[in-house]
Amino acid sequence: MSKLIYNRRRFLGTAAATGAALASPFYLRRAAAQSGGEVNIWTYNDFVPAAFKEQFEAETGIKVNIRLVDDQGKQFNLLAAEQPIPTVDIMTVAGHRFLQFIDSDLLAPLDTDRLTNWGNINPTFSESDWSTINGNKWGAPILSGMEVLSYNTEVVSEEEAQTWDTLFSDKYSGQTAYIIQDMMSIIMLKMGYDGNMVEYMDDPDKAAQIVEEAKQFLIEKKPLVRKYYEGGAEFQQMMVNQDIVLGHSWNGPAAALINDGFPLAMSIPREGSYGFVYTYNIANNAPNADNAYTFLDAILASPEIGAAMTKASGFISTYKDASQYLSDLEKKSTSFPEEQLANLQFFRAEANEMKYGLVDPAVEAIKAA
C-alpha cells in the first residue's frame, strides 16, 4: 500500500514538474538557455515601447523588468533607500534633477564610448550645457518635454490660452488643475523672477522672499482650483471626464490625448514656461550594468524607436530624424509655433538645492492651507 502511494506521489510530482515546464512562459526558458539575465528599469509610463521591449528580449535573452515611476522625488528617495546595493540598473532622471542624484552618489557616469549609437541623438540634447557635469555625461537623452497650458478647445478660446492668467480667472473657477511644484516655477517666472533661482544663488533671502510671494499667490488662488494633481494619467482622466477644461500639464500627456482625437490644444503662454529633458541613466553599483549598456545601445539604435516613444508618450523625441516617422497629427501634437517656442527656457540645476529646499516646504504649505 505504502509503495503504491509512494509511486503515485512520485508520478504526480513528475507530471506536475513537466506541466510547469511546459506552462512556463517562453522567454523564461529562452532566457535560461541564453543566460541573458535581466535589466531593471525605473521609468515613466510608455517610455519603453512595447514592441521594442519584445524584440529586445527575443534577440538578447535579457528580460526587461519595468517599474513605473511618476515623480523625480519619489525615484530619488527609492534609490537613496536602496543604495549602496540598488535593485535598479536604469533610471529616468530629468536633466535638471541630475545634480541632486550625482551629489548623493546615486548615478554612475555614462561611458558613451560603450554606446555605438550615441551619435543618433540630436546634439542639441546630447551636447548641451546641462548634460555635462563634472566633465562627465550622466545620461542618454531620450525625450524632451515642457510645461504647457492645455485646454479644451470646445470651451476655452485660443486667445484665452495665451496667458497663464486664464488658469486663475474666475471664469474657469473649479475647472482647472495643476501640479503645484511645477506651477511654483512658472508663477515665479510669471512674476518676473528667475524660476530656476540661479540669479539668487548669492542672495538666499531674496530667494526665500520670492518663493514666499509665489506661495502666497497660489494659496490665495486655492479656492479656484479643482484639483492639485501629480501624474499625467490623472490629468488625462480629469480632461476626459470634463472635470476640468484647462490646466497646466506636461506636453506628453496632453499630446497623447490630442492624438486620441480629444478636443485639446496646448500653448506656451506669453509669460513663458520651462522645458526639460528626460534621460536614461545608469545607477551607481547597478547589479546588471553590462545589460544596461546593451539596452541603452539598442534603444538608441534607430529613429523609429524614438518615434515610437513619442507616439506612446507624447513627449518630443531627442533622436535625429525621429519626426520622419510621425503622422501629421502626431507631428502637430509635438510641435509649437516659433513665437511660442521663443518663450520657452530649460530648467537648470545649479540652484536646485536652494530652490527645492524652499519650494518643497512651500508646496506642502499650499496643500495644507
Partner 1 sequence: MPCPAARGAGGQTHAKESCMTDHSHPSSKAVATVATDRTFWGRLAAWGPYHTLMRLATASPRRQFLILAAFPVLWVLTQHLGPMLQMLRVSLLDAYPVAPGVEQHFTLDNYARFFGDSIFWMPFFRTLAFAAVFTFCTLIITYPVAYFLARHVSRKNQMLFLLLLLIPFWVGEIVRTYAIMILLGNTGAVNLVLKWVGLIDRPIPFMYTSFSMGVGIVYLTALYMLLPLYSALEKLPQSMNEAAADLGAGAWTRFWRVSLPLTIEGISSGCTLVFLISTGFYATPVLLGGPSTTVFAETIAGFFHVAGDEWPTGAAFATIMFMAALVITATFQKLMNALRKGESK
**Residues within the interface to partner 1 (CB under 8 A):** 2-3, 5-6, 9, 71, 73-74, 76-77, 80-81, 83-84, 100, 104-105, 174, 181, 222-223, 225-228, 230, 237, 241-243, 356, 360-361, 363-365, 367-369
Task: Name the residue nearer to partner 1 (CB basis): 25 or 84.
Answer: 84
Yes or no: say if 96 and 130 are a contact pair by the CB < 8 Å rule. Answer: yes
Residue 338 C-alpha from the chain's centroid: 24
CB of 359 to partner 1, least distance (A): 9
Task: Name the residue nearer to partner 1 (CB basis): 300 or 359.
Answer: 359
Task: Name the residue nearer to partner 1 (CB basis): 123 or 361.
Answer: 361
3-state class of 126 per DSSP? helix
Task: Round to whole Å and give the CA distance between 229 and 369.
Answer: 16
Q: Can you give the C-alpha Rg of the chain in angstroms?
A: 24
3-state class of 227 per DSSP? strand
Task: Name the residue nearer to partner 1 (CB basis): 297 or 360.
Answer: 360
Is the bond preceding residue 123 a cis peptide, omega within 30 degrees? no
CB of 366 to partner 1, least distance (A): 9
CB of 100 to partner 1, least distance (A): 8
CB of 128 to partner 1, least distance (A): 25
CB of 62 to partner 1, least distance (A): 30
Residue in the structure block whose three cell numbers are 500627456:
253
φ/ψ of residue 339, rounded to 5: -65, -30
C-beta atoms surrounding 264 within 10 Å: 26
Task: Name the residue nearer to partner 1 (CB basis): 68 or 329.
Answer: 68
CB of 80 to partner 1, least distance (A): 6
CB of 2 to partner 1, least distance (A): 6
Task: Name the residue nearer to partner 1 (CB basis): 34 or 104.
Answer: 104
C-beta atoms surrounding 55 within 10 Å: 13
C-beta atoms surrounding 350 within 10 Å: 14
Task: Name the residue nearer to partner 1 (CB basis): 219 or 344.
Answer: 219
C-beta atoms surrounding 292 within 10 Å: 26
Task: Name the residue nearer to partner 1 (CB basis): 238 or 265.
Answer: 238
Nearest to 201 by CA among 349, 363, 76: 349
Give CA separation, 142 vs 117, 258, 293, in Å: 12, 21, 15
Mention every residue, 6+ apart, whose C-beta is less than 8 A from residue 148.
Answer: 248, 249, 250, 251, 254, 266, 267, 268, 273
φ/ψ of residue 202, rounded to 5: -95, 0
CB of 350 to partner 1, least distance (A): 17
242: left (phi over 0), alpha (psi -120 to 50) or beta: left
